[in-house]
Structure 1
């Protein structure tokens, strides 16, 4: 088993304080359906943080993400997440599907708080179960690539606390091996900044880089990268 770096240890420590919220809300919701409205707090957190700090909410503050990391980390196959889960069309479909399900079912039971809460609990239970299946078959964070709130946070995260890549990068790919989302910072070394908005700002890649080529603080770039500073990295939100 690969030894965890300091960023990964810190992240796992924080997750121990948040992961229990997911099973607690699901369990409570089947007894007291109004507990389902707590789901909106998670939605607000994802959107709120994305507006100024990128998709950082999904790092350790999201109870579901923390639950998947801690529960599935030891039983997942931990293989490459299929590209299907990162297709733009699939992610848009999931946003529309989940929002439509909530909207239609809310309309049908509008005014009955218990029934409305139960709509959210059912949805939370079903999607969590799907995430456990995907996480076991592929990688703990597979669901996070098609999570509707994660996708919306992705859209809002452009330019927020970007990861800078210097030309010290030698494409050793150690960053990808420790990234909880299996992102590839080395693909962006010619652009000086990573253009993948699914970055959770966890700093695991920064700690793992043997060349100290990654940073969330802007660093002095080489002449080559200065010449590319007006170029934009390719968008890979698929």
Structure 2
């Protein structure tokens, strides 16, 4: 029997988010879940597991674009840390400005979140058509930010507990 992994069905969550957001912009606030889930997993010590196993946007892009994607290679500059840092900074700035202008009105904040999530999905779809379906995942600001936090946490853990280096940053009990 074939195992159904979350990546096979989490695309439904993105479609539900978009549908609910169109029906009532206040549902746009649910985008916070999509933005904080990668951070939750990183802070739990699971690394970028969200990107690999759970991301609704990645699931939707893979499922919707695998038959129509040109499957071209992304330009090399887009895969560099420098580009990802710039994109992360740009997205955080745009998001912060949007939220600042919308606050304290809940409906405006929810709409700003919905607009932000929708625009990044449109960019992801365009990238997925011209490049590989999940090309957005390569430059995703949340995935990149989660990776940066994960590296820092592991670095600090390795400084405090040098034996953790042997287990990839995770502390394990030594066998006696």
What TM-score bracket applies, with the shorter chain setting the length? 0.7 to 0.9
**Among 112, 119, 135, which residue is 1:142 paired with?**
135
Local SS of the residue matching 1:106: helix
C-alpha separation in 2, matches of 1:73 and 1:80: 14
Aligned twin of 1:16: 8
- The Cα of 1:80 is off from its aligned counterpart by 2.6
Find 1:25's aligned residue among 3, 11, 17. Answer: 17
Tell me the CA shift for residue 125 of structure 1: 1.1
Structure 1 gap ranges (5+): 1-8, 162-192, 196-238
- In structure 2, C-alpha distance between the alignment counterparts of 1:59 and 1:102, rounded to whole Å: 24
More helix by share: 2
User: In the TM superposition, what whole-angstrom CA distance separates every residue of 1:5-54 from its partner, at most 9, and x where no partner exists?
Assistant: xxxx75x7422321111121122112221211211112221012123111
Deviation track 1:128-181 (CA, whole Å, cap 9, x = no partner) reads 1111111111111111122110111111233999xxxxxxxxxxxxxxxxxxxx
Alignment counterpart, residue 113 of structure 1, candidates 82, 106, 120: 106
Length-normalised TM-score, structure 2: 0.78
Higher RCO (C-alpha under 8 Å, 6+ residues apart): 2
List aligned pairs for 1:1-238, cutoff 5 A: 10=3, 13-51=5-43, 52-158=45-151
Matched positions, count: 155
Structure 2: state its 5+ residue gaps.
Answer: 155-165, 169-176
Hey, what's the Cα distance between the residues in 1 that align with 2:52 and 2:63? Answer: 12
Q: TM-score, normalised by structure 1?
A: 0.59
Alpha-carbon distance in 2 for matches of 1:93, 1:159 = 19
Which residue does 2:172 correspond to in 1?
A: none
**d(CA) in 2 for partners of 1:21, 1:99:** 23
